[in-house]
Structure 1
Amino acid sequence: MSYSVNKTIDCKGLSCPMPIVRTKKAVEEIQPGQVLEVLATDPGSVADVKSWAQRTGHQFIGTQEDAGVFKHYIRKSDENELKPEKKHPHTITNEELQTKLQDKPVILDVREPMEYAFGHIPGAKLVPFGKLEEAIEELKTTHGEQEIHVICRTGNRSDIACQMLTEKGFQHVKNVVPGMAEWSGPVEKQ
């Protein structure tokens, strides 16, 4: 299958948030209607790139995988189709969450399974961002009225997850910032 690609960026070896940071910059450098190809090796980029494109109004064409490299395709939209990027308004710092750990708060870790296995907050429930949509009903049943603390590596993926949960009716959702990259509290490994 051949595509007419106008620009390709190489994000191989980079983890969240860098593929999205570079994607944003590259999209600014192409014309409306042109196609950007993003090459990435981070499995989380599959959900991240699609979600970013949908939230900003750009057309997500699709992703192909070839020998561990994800090739994401985005068509830049016209100015009148774009949406301003939003941030989830409710956050909690790593330190604030750490003081709540004795109360066994609901912590949702939206990183990839391998990231979670190498170190997560004790009691955190793993729901990779790419699987969050299909976990919504279970989460409503188990944690619908509770405060949910959503964490990822840097606060970016968890921000999008918080927005998604809020859109699905969850009322008490907080993004943990700056996330696991700077977490100094207790950690469990699998």
Structure 2
Amino acid sequence: MADLTQEEWAEQVAQHKEAVVLDVRTEEEFEDGYIPDAINIDIRQGQGFIDELEKLDKSKTYYVYCRSGARSAQACALMEQLGFDEAYNLLGGILEWEGDIVA
């Protein structure tokens, strides 16, 4: 797991067309606006979050974000424990995101 700056994160997402953008905020936060092509799995669901992660392809590359970067860092650490190959945390979260947002 690695923390990436906004620039690094955006660049790598653009380069990895097979990568998955994962938003770990609440459904309400997600509906307020999200990074294009993101899927939403709320980390606050506890075991439900883990159950949803287990359904994902662990060999893919995941770019994970939340509001400020704290929950997504937790999610990346958890994903690493669950055996995901690559999960990258967006430093500063969507609050500092300067790219496109789907409203």
**Are 2:43 and 1:126 equivalent residues in the alignment?**
no
Cα drift, residue 186 of structure 1:
0.5
User: Which residue number in structure 2 is paired with residue 106 of structure 1?
Assistant: 20
**Are 2:93 and 1:145 equivalent residues in the alignment?**
no
Question: Bigger relative contact order, structure 1 or 2, given CA contacts below 8 A and separation 6+?
Answer: 2
Structure 1 residue runs of 5 or longer lacking an equivalent are 1-88
User: Which residue number in structure 1 is paired with residue 9 of structure 2?
Assistant: 97
Backbone CA RMSD of aligned residues: 1.5
TM-score between both structures, scaled by the size of structure 2 = 0.85
SS at match of 1:145: coil
Letter in 2 for 1:91: D
Cα drift, residue 101 of structure 1:
4.1
State the number of aligned residues: 98
| Equivalence map 1:31-70=2 (5 Å) | none
TM-score between both structures, scaled by the size of structure 1 = 0.48
User: Which residue number in structure 2 is paired with residue 187 of structure 1?
Assistant: 101
User: Which residue number in structure 2 is paired with residue 171 of structure 1?
Assistant: 85
1:123-178 Cα offsets, whole Å, 9 max, x none, are 01100102321212211xxx311111110011101111111111111121111111
Cα drift, residue 95 of structure 1:
1.5
- The percentage of aligned residue pairs carrying the same residue is 32
Q: Which has the higher strand share?
A: 1
Structure 2 residue runs of 5 or longer lacking an equivalent are none
- Which runs of at least 4 in structure 1 moved beyond 4 Å after TM superposition? none
Distance across 2 between alignment mates of 1:173 and 1:98: 14
Distance across 2 between alignment mates of 1:112 and 1:122: 16
Letter in 1 for 2:10: Q
SS at match of 1:149: strand
SS at match of 1:166: helix
> In 1, are the aligned partners of 2:13 and 2:63 still within 8 Å (CA)?
no
